[in-house]
Amino acid sequence: MESREIEDFFESQDQLAGSEDEESVAKRTRSHDEGGERKKQKTRRVLDGFRFLLIPKKRNKMTETRVKAFKNHGAVVCDKLEDRVTHILVGKNWTKRDVLNNLKIDELPSTVKVIRDNFPSDCIEKARTLDDNDSYYVVEESRANDSFKERERLKKEAEAKEKDSDKTSPPSDKQQHEKNENDSESVPQKASKADDPESLFERAVEANRLHQEAEQYISDDEEEEVNGHGRKKKGDWSSNYMCMKTSLYPAAQDIKNPNARVIRLLSLMLEHYQNTKDEWRAQGYRKAIATLRRQDRPITTAKEAKKLPGIGERLSQKIEEISTTGHLQRLEEAESDPMTKTLELLIKIHGVGPKTAKKWYTDGVRTLDDAKERPDLTSSQKIGIEHYDDFNERMPRSVVEKHYTVVKEALQKFDTAAEAIPMGSFRRGQADCGDIDIIITKKHAALNDLTPLLHKLIKHLESIGFIVCSLSGPHQEGSKWYGASVIPGDPKWRRLDFLLVPWKERGAALIYYTGNDLFNRSIRTVAQHKGYQLNQKGLYKRPSGSKAVKAKEDENLSEKDLVEAADEERIFEILGVQYRAPTERNP
């Protein structure tokens, strides 16, 4: 495998995969309802006379399931073009030129048509033979034609929406922005107090700007331009942001959700990006899944999906594909991709990031045993390989509680005034957790007061056999420690992190380390557009006239800029965001 191909794994949307084996992915992506419907339709041979050739040729569990369904409805699935093929089935990104290149021929027989691979599934779903000449299934000759047609289609849609918008809709983002600029030139801007009510116009302008900021968290090739075509929200601008909405832990509600199948498949893709540490793209899927969870009706078309917040062009197409075919081609293609599986395997080793995984893959590493033989392994990586399964297994809340109790009781022996607070998914009320994050703080204590306490705590927990390894010593001025712990009756090593938090910073730290990531990004966006900077140390007022401060510029913030850090609820209040209990921070 060439180095460039490995780079493409992390940079291209075309490399999507779940982290499970083929059989488990196939099981999770097949609906019981779909299976029942197919049984009812077995006698309706809506594909009689069709002889399909699937390109690219692939054989995995999900493809075999589709092939079986096609055959049950009368079709013949061929292995080669010479088998009297009538139709070649290809994905939506393929052109006829791609087909010729794949088959290594100059032209196709006049009796063979090239159509989209969702045609058979649509026939089965509709219980009738559809028109294979329908433009929806037509495959273009080349990518140039395809691009031109797409541009024309988008242009016509934009013109139609613009006409409708002129008659019935509020001003677009662009119009609103231009109006704001004109107003700002003619009317002196008056600074408003935090508790003064904002006008409806000011709220709308702020919402548009916030949407533009939030778009950066959607995957780059799935990003929907903020161009005024999206549906406008009524009421307070803040309702458009994840941190403004209550989102109880969603596992139970997904079962009865009208978009359950779509959510399930998008969740597999989200899991893939989390496994490959591609947080940038994962954010886009989190937003889309959160939006779908709030819908009370099925979203079945790309047109419907694009009207919803947080769902762009590419994601809307995926939603339509899942709704109409019951599967997602990208996941199928990735199931059998050995590079994808290997990189996901390596990245889940503690101490191995995307860059290291790519290097190891280039060097020929394909298994954990291969990785174990590398001479350049750090001590943390060696432990990560040895306890790979333990570290990657999620644990029930009850297990986290037992580990937390050991830490809390030990801490009390050294200082009764010190506090240990479990964070992350545990504080958000989730049923299981990936690791154990514990904040250690104490009333009126500074960081240098807490550091000696941490050293004593670690030494004691090691002596009783609770802490079994250190994966990194205290760093960042001694504010963090990473390791693993084990409790009697459970031999599995669990990831354990200690986070030292000065008392005066506890409110901001509680927000930051509770999460989840999407909630945190959303509330930080609100802070930036209200003239603040929010991080784990506090809420700071930015100097007048300064632009949004990036995370790497946090060191430029000083104590004189600090507005609030100690009180978690007060930070919400200052930002004008209704306080959300930790269990409501799972958007």
Summarised one tens digit per residue, pLDDT across range 568-578 is: 999 999 988 88
509 residue type, one letter:
A
Domain covering 243-336 assigned CATH 1.10.150.110 in the classification: yes
Q: Which superfamily does CATH assign the domain made up of 507-584 to?
A: DNA polymerase, thumb domain (3.30.210.10)
Identical fold, 243-336 and 338-392: yes
Lowest mean pLDDT among 45-49, 184-188, 391-395: 184-188
**pTM higher than 0.85, yes or no?**
no
Of residues 180, 270, 174, the one with CA closest to residue 225: 174
Residues identified as active-site: 318
Domain covering 338-392 assigned CATH 1.10.150.20 in the classification: yes
Q: Which stretch, 125-134, 140-149, 433-442, 518-527, has highest mean pLDDT?
A: 433-442
pLDDT tens digits, 456-505: 999 999 999 999 999 975 454 568 999 999 999 999 999 999 999 999 99
Q: How far apart are the first and last CA of the chain?
A: 39
pLDDT tens digits, 93-114: 788 888 998 888 988 998 999 9
Count of residues making up the chain:
587
pLDDT tens digits, 350-368: 999 888 998 999 899 999 9
**Maximum CA pair distance of the chain?**
85
pLDDT of residue 261: 82
Residue 54: φ, ψ to 5°: -90, 130
- Where do the structural domains in the chain lie, given as residue ranges? 51-126, 243-336, 338-392, 395-500, 507-584
d(C-alpha 192, C-alpha 179), whole Å: 20
Confidence of residue 431 (pLDDT cuts 50, 70, 90): very high
Strands 532-535 and 538-541: antiparallel
CATH of the structural domain 51-126, one choice from 3.40.630.40, 3.40.640.10, 3.40.50.10190, 3.30.300.30? 3.40.50.10190
Does residue 234 register a pLDDT over 80? Answer: no
Identify any residues that bridge with 419 across adjacent strands, giving them in sequence order. 441
Confidence of residue 213 (pLDDT cuts 50, 70, 90): very low
Contacts for 270-278: CB closer than 8 Å, 24+ residues apart? 271/18, 271/19, 272/16, 272/17, 272/18, 272/19, 272/334, 272/344, 275/19, 275/344, 275/347, 275/348, 276/9, 276/10, 276/343, 276/344, 276/347, 276/354, 277/347, 277/353, 277/354, 278/10, 278/354
Does residue 432 register a pLDDT over 60? Answer: yes
Residue 426 DSSP one-character state: H
Q: Give the mean pLDDT of the chain.
A: 75
Residue 449 structure tokens: 């007061």
Distances 288 to 292, 299, 320, 453, 487 between C-alpha atoms, Å: 6, 12, 13, 43, 39
3-state secondary structure of 6: helix
Of residues 62, 420, 470, the one with CA closest to residue 265: 62
pLDDT of residue 559: 81
Confidence of residue 379 (pLDDT cuts 50, 70, 90): very high
d(C-alpha 504, C-alpha 209), whole Å: 32
Of residues 517, 511, 489, the one with CA closest to residue 579: 511
3-state secondary structure of 88: strand
Of residues 294, 319, 293, 297, the one with CA closest to residue 306: 319
pLDDT of residue 221: 33
pLDDT tens digits, 295-350: 889 999 999 999 998 898 889 988 998 888 877 776 666 556 678 789 889 999 99
Identify any residues that bridge with 469 across adjacent strands, giving them in sequence order. 484
The stretch 179-208 carries a mean pLDDT of 34
C-beta of residue 224 within 8 angstroms of C-beta of residue 313 = yes
Does residue 279 register a pLDDT over 60? Answer: yes
Distance, CA of 571 to chain centre: 26
pLDDT of residue 93: 75
CATH of the structural domain 395-500, one choice from 3.40.50.2300, 3.40.605.10, 3.30.460.10, 2.30.330.10? 3.30.460.10
pLDDT of residue 335: 57
Does residue 373 register a pLDDT over 80? Answer: yes
